[in-house]
Structure 1
Amino acid sequence: MNQKSPTISCQISPPHRRYGEAATGMDVLSREELTRLRDISKGGLHETLRRCALAVLTTGTESDDPRAAQVRYPDFDIEVLQLDRGIKLDLRNAPATAFVDGHLIYGVADLLFAVVRDIAYTSNEIQSSELFRLDTNAGITSAVFEILRNANVLRPNIDPNLVVCWGGHSIMREEYLYTKKVGYELGLRALDICTGCGPGAMKGPMKGATIAHAKQRRIQNRYIGITEPGIIAAESPNPIVNELVVMPDIEKRLEAFVRLGHGIIAFPGGVGTAEEILYLLGLLMHPDNAGISLPLILTGPECAAAYFEHLDRFIRLVLGEDAAKYYTIVVDDAERVAKLMSKGVKAVREQRIRERDAFFFNWSLSVPLAFQKPFEPTHEAMAGLRLHRDQPRHELAADLRRAFSGIVAGNVKEHAMKSIERDGPFAISGDVEIMHALDELLASFVAQRRMKISGEYQPCYRVVR
């Protein structure tokens, strides 16, 4: 029988920084925003807010089951209050681990208000307004831009220096220590870090960079975490994140990564990391992006060499040998990774200057609508993916990305987990050679325990050969 964990109830105001401004820009909300955040109906925002808030309050939890926190804190609730002096959050039965001597930890409060900000803004200004045509390429990119601008992560007058780090939440200890080494080397070179904000390979680079930034006496360091409501419940933000952005879906989250970042590093991971790599390769292989500078490095310690061998073999077999020219694999050499990335970021700066593109948002990168449309991983949608070679390689990469996205959902997203419990695993089919390679790759992830942090993994998919 599960035992309830200690809780605390309180009201909190937005944390403030210098000059009295709210850390997250959250001082007031409209009546419409408040109404939606309090709406407990099926289409209301209250349940999304409650789940995301609980994820933030359980930062540091070593679990990737989105239902675990709900079981431990079944009575947790949150209400947004608009008072004469601004807004407050009324927390009821919140996890006591988020408090010190009865006071909510500053960083946790900061991230809580970021959650409120993004959920309210996305619902009111993006999804419910007529300002954005979310069925068009330009409309979706504009929405991504506005969400990031509202979150105050688009900073002008700063040279390119933001490295996006991808990688798994379920990784070996040696792999985690290596991500810290790479983060340390990046930090020594005045590079900031952006990740998916969770544990494992998303936390390690930030942790390493904090030490290097402190050694360099560097201030205003940026540790950006980008997530979405379905992911954050399973992967709580790690405590180093100081700028959190909650995008409305996985596709806008992926676009935010490639629009914000000046270089990408992929550490060992599972299907989520494979999804991210295929997404980026699909973009870089698109004819409209010929000549775009966006360095991609795949790296890990010696014990992860087999992981990259499997992944590299899969990419070459499915997308062609030419796909390998878009990335560099570096094994067990953190310093070389940082030097290559620093050089690559300088090349990005030179290209942006030549093309008169912004440093803070990569407008020149073409992200086709096929990569932007939200994919709902139902049994029907997964079975209908076109995993065949009789189409352009970037389109095949887009559907492969969707296949991996569906497996991620089946592993960690509650609605997909319930669907699989009811109707069985997702069926994935396509060209025999591609299915054989996919089955081998996924089997290697399972064997290396890259699918789940703990417990015996039960596949949420079946590959039909």
Structure 2
Amino acid sequence: MTATPNATVLPTVNARIYPKGGLDVLSRDEVARLRDASTGIHDLLRRCALAVLTSGSASDDPRAARELYPDFDIEVHQQDRGMRIDLTRAPAMAFVDGEIIRGVAELLFAVVRDLAYTAIELGKGGGRDLESSDGLTDSVFGLLRNARILHPADPNLVVCWGGHSISRDEYIYTKQVGYELGLRGLDICTGCGPGAMKGPMKGATIAHAKQRRRAMRYIGITEPGIIAAESPNPIVNHLVIMPDIEKRLEAFVRMGHGIIVFPGGVGTAEEILYLLGILLREENAGLPFPLILTGPTASAPYFEQIDKFLRLTLGEVATQRYEIIVGDPERVARAMSQGIRKVREYRIEHKDSFFFNWSIDIPLTFQKPFVPTHEAMASLDLHHGRKPHELAADLRRAFSGIVAGNVKEDGMRRIEEFGPFEIHGDPDMMQSLDALLRAFVEQRRMKIAGEYRPCYRVVT
């Protein structure tokens, strides 16, 4: 690799990188698609690459990095003995003494790998059946296998969900839980960003070092619409970019052996509703899947409000699928470890793989991408009398639309052009939803910095 500094307002470098390991070669077709500006793939590559090159950024504005580095570009070239990546006016923060930081380089290679695979395998003519439930699950499996993170080892992967904008006490608590998980030999998977997505990984690194573990997995799963707002934290050593939020959520559930939920905002609420909607289906009634909601003692009111909302909307049956533990990291880790042992026994008994949960039934309504237009948001069926898993699917879409309006460029543009989304439903449900969202705003769970302007209006 060679790098030369540029004299710009923010320090940048030009660099030439030769990938090693999991990204040695690409086909001519893959390289051509990554360089084709007419399809939008190159712009997507540029945005995702800039996100990982600014790894550790505290901003959650998806347009901030491009405004700071407007002349950044990336080109992928095929060579006789492999490939190379050329970076133009790349952020200097990704380099030390002219050399790109190794972890950042690995994340950059992951971006190229996943976007190339998606363009070919999931694009037109790729041969994938993206209209059926089995076909969509197969596409998720293919993306994860291509990323080389599916390993036939004993179950030990804990998915940690939670907000990117959390308090200092909550962040410290996520590290303490991660530490306790690491002491028990458990690996961590998160959404790859800051806050509750970074804390568990940071805590686990110390515990893994004390236990002399050398093959640790800190997996970050993201998607193009959100990576710029939640750039990967520096601890992630396996990054996977899924094409959309639905495949990202399915990847979490298929890969994880248990899930811990820390305090968060609308994205965290979306994740909870997605998982509960699946677990409440009759087909998954006997499936062990440990789900723990936890935070420091000061966060108890947050979980009380989440619990109250879930009871009102999904019913008391939903509470049987999760446990709330407040202020006790060790108890959380013990409960999760015990839950994963039951998962292992179940997988052995039902001859299911340890590395990908084929047994869990995820219906098409949870897999088809939801495009949060104003019309789609207003037509969501948020009324009592529906089956819990069906209502959960539409509630999940409501929160997904708010996430898009908050941090995704397409959603933000829609809000700027047409105003806030309107959400309709039964009065008591809408009142509870409005109270929950107002609490998120008051607790600053919607935005890392600056004043939050709601992208939604709950019609009660």
TM range (shorter): over 0.9
* Map of 2:54 onto structure 1: 58
Between the aligned partners of 1:34 and 1:81, the Cα distance in structure 2 is 7
Write out aligned runs for 1:348-427 (5 A). Answer: 348-427=343-422
SS in 2 for 1:244: strand
Write out aligned runs for 1:23-62 (5 A). Answer: 25-41=22-38, 43-62=39-58
Asked if residue 97 in structure 1 is aligned to residue 93 in structure 2, the reply is yes
TM-score with structure 2 setting the length: 0.98
Q: Name the aligned partner's letter for residue 137 of structure 2.
A: T
Between the aligned partners of 1:188 and 1:88, the Cα distance in structure 2 is 39
Q: Name the aligned partner's letter for residue 26 of structure 1.
A: L
Counterparts in 2 of 1:255 and 1:441: CA distance versus 1, 3 Å: same
* Map of 1:230 onto structure 2: 225
Within the candidate set 8, 11, 15, 1:10 is matched to 15
SS in 1 for 2:163: coil
SS in 2 for 1:224: strand
Write out aligned runs for 1:19-418 (5 A). Answer: 22=21, 25-41=22-38, 43-156=39-152, 158-418=153-413
Task: Summarize deviations over 1:339-363 as a string: whole Å, max 9, x none.
Answer: 0000000000000000000000000
Task: Summarize deviations over 1:128-181 as a string: whole Å, max 9, x none.
Answer: 33432101000000000000000001001x100000000000000000000000
Maintained 8 Å contact 2:219/2:237: yes
Task: Summarize deviations over 1:285-333 as a string: whole Å, max 9, x none.
Answer: 0111110111000000011111101100000011101111110000000
Between the aligned partners of 2:360 and 2:384, the Cα distance in structure 1 is 25
Between the aligned partners of 1:460 and 1:410, the Cα distance in structure 2 is 6
1:27, CA displacement in angstroms?
A: 1.2
Maintained 8 Å contact 1:184/1:210: yes
TM-score with structure 1 setting the length: 0.96
Q: Name the aligned partner's letter for residue 426 of structure 2.
A: D
Within the candidate set 429, 432, 451, 2:427 is matched to 432
SS in 1 for 2:289: coil
Maintained 8 Å contact 1:78/1:91: yes
Maintained 8 Å contact 1:319/1:397: yes
Kindly report the root-mean-square deviation, in angstroms, between the aligned alpha carbons of the 2 structures.
0.8
1:432, CA displacement in angstroms?
A: 1.0
Between the aligned partners of 2:125 and 2:169, the Cα distance in structure 1 is 48
Q: Name the aligned partner's letter for residue 409 of structure 1.
A: A
* Map of 1:19 onto structure 2: none
Q: Which runs of 5+ in 2 are unaligned?
A: 1-7
Between the aligned partners of 2:345 and 2:200, the Cα distance in structure 1 is 26
SS in 2 for 1:127: coil
